[in-house]
Every structure is written in C-alpha cells, then in structure tokens.
C-alpha cells in the first residue's frame, strides 16, 4: 500500500512498560541510595520530605517542570517517572544542605549537580528493576518485526543497555546487545529528548502561531521546542524518505517535535497522562491517541490507510 518503508518508533519507558506500577520500586531504591550515600541522613526523614514535595507539585502542576540548561523540558505531571524525578530535583533544590551535598558528590557533569544527580539515580535504579511490560508487548513487537512493510525501533534517551537487557526477557534481540534470538529490533537510542538548547536559532513554522520556538497548549501550559539534538536525530531518520510514526506516553519529550515536523504521533493514554496533553495531541491532524498498547497495530493500519487516501486525493 505504501511504497516506502514505514518506521514505527516506539518509546520504551511508559509505552512498552507499566511505568505507573514500576515507579514505587524506583522511588524506594533511589531514595535509599540518596539518603545513605549522598545526603547522609535517615531514609525515613528523606522519604517524608519527598512525599511532601511530590504533593506540592501535584497541587500546583503548572509550576513544576524538569528544567535542563535553564529551559523547561516537560511538566512534572506528564509521567510517573517524571514526577519522581522532578520531586527529587525540587526537594534537593529547596534545601540548601541537600544542594551542597549533591554539589559535592557531583562537582562536574553535563547539566549541573541536581539534574546530574537525578539522571544518575534514574539510570542506576531503573536498570535494576524487572519491568512489567504492558499487555501483549511481545506479540505486538513481533508482529511489527515480521511485517515486511514496517521497520520498528525502540526509542530511548539512554544508550540502550537497559532496553536491550529487558527486551531479552521477551526473547527479542537488539542491535545494542548481539544475541541469537529469532526476532531482532533496532534501538533508536541516545536521543536526548530532554536536552534543551537555549542557543538554538531554529524556528518552527506553525499555521496559527507563525515562527515559534515555544508552542502554547492552552492558557496554562506551553512546550518549549528547543531540542536541537533530538531534532537532528529525527531528521536523520527522515533522510531516506521513510514515513515515520512515533509512539509514546507523553507529548513534551518524545512527541512534540514529531508533531511539528509533520510525522504522525500516537500517544498511549496511560493512567497518569494529563487530559490537557490528550486534548492537545487530538487537535493535530497528525496526532492520534490510543487507550492501551493493544490498540497500536490497528492504529498503525489506520494511519497508513489515511496516507493512502491522502496520496490518492
């Protein structure tokens, strides 16, 4: 039906996995590590401060973002893991003693001591968690792998070691970790969707808002588009003329640039996805939502059929 190959790029955390079920394990491991090895205070005391901070964020969702290089990468409430990350960052930033201890532990890094600290805790402790995959994840991935018209990828901000290790639990191999599994899938890794670039001069063209670097969602929310590294990686995937569908559980990190670049974006409506985010994705001609991962194959077929109709017209 479609002459060129279709790349279906599927986000890992929260899209393939029940992030909402795994976040408690992440928080427990990360807070224990933070209390014992970095802040040197009783774990119970830190947990109490963390829970108070998290509630403060939930009570004021528009005011708390994951800030990278001075720019907001996403809102704290857009994901279960994100809420954990931003709660930890806010807690560390609001307490001078905590900030001092973290600065001592992470004196040099990529994004400043606090962000480096939460990145360290996230990657270290999610690597050790056995994930709960969403229903029929293995079967759906194999369906895409065996489809000669589809080239599936797994999207991740990391270099892919965690993803490769966990996909091996499904007997699916990757290009990151060679193995003898029958079914193999490529990892689209190190995408750095969160890496904001305040010096990027590129402006996106929007039919309503004109030349922009930030797009308004509604009166309360907006998304900054200055993600030059992720943009370059997406452009590279477009270079061979393939049609691209990106699938994820949130819009700010993985989804907003594909939407702006004319790619189709499918958002899975996980239980933590805010309604404003769902409404925003639905407002785009190339934006789609699904209730669960089971609906993805039919949605991909629907999008491909729409391409066919558009080309025919």
Query: Where are the domains positioned within the chain?
Result: 6-18+131-312, 20-127
Per-block mean pLDDT, blocks of 10 residues, the chain (313 long): 76 97 97 98 98 98 95 98 98 97 91 94 94 97 96 93 95 87 94 96 96 96 98 96 96 98 98 97 98 98 88 63
What DSSP designation does 261 have? T
Per-residue pLDDT, 240: 92
Distance (Å, whole) CA 198 – CA 99:
24
Per-residue pLDDT, 158: 84
Q: What is the pTM of this model?
A: 0.94
**pLDDT tens digits along 55-68:** 999 999 999 999 99
Per-residue pLDDT, 297: 98
Q: Does the 6-18+131-312 domain belong in CATH 3.40.50.1000? A: yes
Per-residue pLDDT, 4: 63
Q: Quick one: three-class SS letters along the chain?
A: CCCCCEEEEEECCCCCECHHHHHHHHHHHHHHHHHHHHHCCCHHHHHHHHHHHHHHHHHCHHHCEEEECCEEEEEHHHCHHHHHHHHHHHHHHHCHHHHHHHHHHCCCCCCCHHHHHHHHHHHHHHHCCCCCECCCHHHHHHHHHHCCCEEEEEECCCCCHHHHHHHHHHCEEECCCCCCCCEEEEEECCCCCCCCCCCCCCCEEECCCEEECEEECCCCCEEECCCHHHHHHHHHHHCCCCEEEEEECCCCCCCHHHHHCCCEEEEECCCCCCHHHHHHHHCCCCEEEECCHHHHHHHHHHHHHHHHHHHHC
């Amino acid at each position: 039906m479609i002459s060129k190959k279709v790349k279906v790029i599927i986000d890992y955390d929260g899209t393939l996995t029940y992030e909402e079920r795994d976040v408690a394990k992440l928080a427990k491991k990360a807070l224990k590590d933070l209390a014992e090895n970095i802040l040197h205070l009783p774990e119970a005391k830190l947990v109490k401060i963390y829970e108070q901070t998290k509630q403060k964020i939930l009570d004021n969702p528009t005011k708390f973002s994951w800030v990278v290089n001075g720019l907001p990468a996403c809102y704290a409430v857009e994901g279960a893991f994100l809420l954990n990350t931003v709660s930890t960052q806010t807690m560390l930033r609001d307490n001078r003693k905590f900030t001092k201890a973290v600065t001592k532990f992470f004196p040099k890094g990529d994004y400043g001591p606090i962000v480096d600290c939460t990145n360290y805790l996230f990657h270290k402790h999610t690597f050790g968690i056995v994930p709960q995959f969403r229903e029929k994840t293995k079967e759906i991935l194999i369906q895409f792998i065996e489809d000669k018209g589809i080239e599936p990828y797994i999207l991740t901000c990391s270099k892919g070691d965690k993803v490769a290790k966990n996909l091996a639990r499904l007997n699916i191999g990757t290009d990151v970790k060679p193995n003898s599994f029958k079914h193999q899938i490529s990892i689209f890794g190190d995408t750095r969707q969160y890496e904001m670039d305040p010096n990027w001069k590129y402006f996106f063209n929007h039919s309503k808002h004109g030349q922009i670097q930030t797009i308004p969602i509604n009166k309360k929310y907006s998304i900054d588009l200055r993600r030059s590294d992720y943009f370059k990686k997406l452009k590279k995937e477009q270079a061979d003329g393939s049609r691209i569908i990106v699938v994820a559980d949130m819009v700010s990190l993985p989804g907003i640039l594909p939407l702006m670049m004319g790619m189709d974006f499918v958002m899975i409506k996980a239980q933590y996805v805010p309604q404003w985010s769902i409404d925003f994705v639905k407002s785009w001609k190339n934006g789609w939502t699904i209730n669960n991962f089971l609906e993805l194959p039919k949605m991909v077929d629907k999008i491909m059929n729409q391409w066919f109709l558009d080309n025919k017209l």
